[in-house]
Amino acid sequence: MCLWADWDRFGHKAEVIPVRINVADLLTEAGQHKAAPVAVAMEPVEFGGQVFHFDRPLTGEVEIWNTGDSLLVKGSLAGEVLIQCSRCLAPITLPLDLSFEEEFVEGEPPAEGEEAGDEGDDDRTITYFQGDEIDLTEALQQNILLELPMKPLCSEDCLGLCPTCGANRNETSCTCQQATDVDPRLAALKDLLRKPDSNS
Ligand SMILES: [Zn+2]
Ligand SMILES: [Zn+2]
């Protein structure tokens, strides 16, 4: 079954399609296991002063195990994010590649304020589900958000914008460049070095 059969209908609009997987066949007994393809659509995300756009859903695969106590979900996703270079503001496309692990427990979530017990000690978040389906949408979106780059660059040696005239220094060498290259602290140091006996 294709989980994003209707994707083309939405074009580039990031209409989020829920990622739900039927687990009825896994719940019959502990040890059951299966794999399923997934696709996660993301709406544009504003984060750290930048807007991240996703042209296409991120795609990958999940594997689900019935451990007896819970359903353990492990998977990986790959895709790309459209963003601006944090130095020169050029539009760039960066690959995103991530793996994740989630745990689903059948039943009602504990009431707020109630102690989660010994199992709440580790970092793994538990999602509660009822019925035959687990909904991975939110968990997968959270995992994608964690992978977003904080200071994306078009290239490691991006020269950025000229702070004086705003020109993109990757494309043009403006005339302000020479003036800003002379650091007054270095000029002072040069003077000191010319007087080797200055500290006696
Ligand atoms: Zn750049
Ligand atoms: Zn300039």
Does residue 1 sit within a domain? no
Of 101, 120, 146, which residue is a domain's last? 146
* Whether residue 150 has pLDDT greater than 50: yes
pLDDT for 48: 79
Reported as a single tens digit per residue, the pLDDT across 54-100 is 999 999 999 999 999 999 999 999 999 999 999 999 999 999 999 99
Q: Answer yes or no: do 113 and 40 share one domain.
A: yes
Give the residue-averaged pLDDT of 97-106. Answer: 94
Does residue 168 sit within a domain? yes
Q: In 76-115, which positions are buried (b, 16+ CB within 10 angstroms) versus exposed (e)?
A: ebebbbebebbbbeeebebebebebebbbeeeeeeeeeee
Q: Answer yes or no: do 78 and 33 share one domain.
A: yes
Which ligand places an atom closest to the C-alpha of 155?
1
- Residue 62, both tokens: 């999940």
Q: Tell me how far the alpha carbon of residue 171 lies from the centroid of ligand 1, in angstroms.
A: 10
From first CA to last CA, the distance across the chain in angstroms is 84
Give the residue-averaged pLDDT of 163-169. Answer: 92
In this structure, which amino acid lies at residue 188? A
Q: Answer yes or no: do 171 and 120 share one domain.
A: no
Please give the Cα distance from 38 to 19 (Å, whole number): 7
Give the strand order in the sheet containing 71-84: 33-40, 58-66, 71-84, 91-106, 126-129
Of 146, 170, 191, which residue is a domain's last? 146
Whole-model pTM: value is: 0.70
Which ligand places an atom closest to the C-alpha of 92?
1
Q: Tell me how far the alpha carbon of residue 188 lies from the centroid of ligand 2, in angstroms.
A: 24
Q: Tell me how far the alpha carbon of residue 167 lies from the centroid of ligand 1, in angstroms.
A: 12
Of 108, 125, 146, which residue is a domain's last? 146
Reported as a single tens digit per residue, the pLDDT across 171-192 is 998 888 555 455 666 666 666 6
Range of the domain at 193: 159-200
Mean pLDDT, the chain, rounded, equals 82
Q: Tell me how far the alpha carbon of residue 177 lies from the centroid of ligand 2, in angstroms.
A: 6
How many domains, in total, are found in the chain?
2
Q: Answer yes or no: do 115 and 42 share one domain.
A: yes
The pLDDT > 70 percentage for the chain reads 74
Please give the Cα distance from 176 to 74 (Å, whole number): 53
Give the residue-averaged pLDDT of 46-59. Answer: 90
In this structure, which amino acid lies at residue 15? E
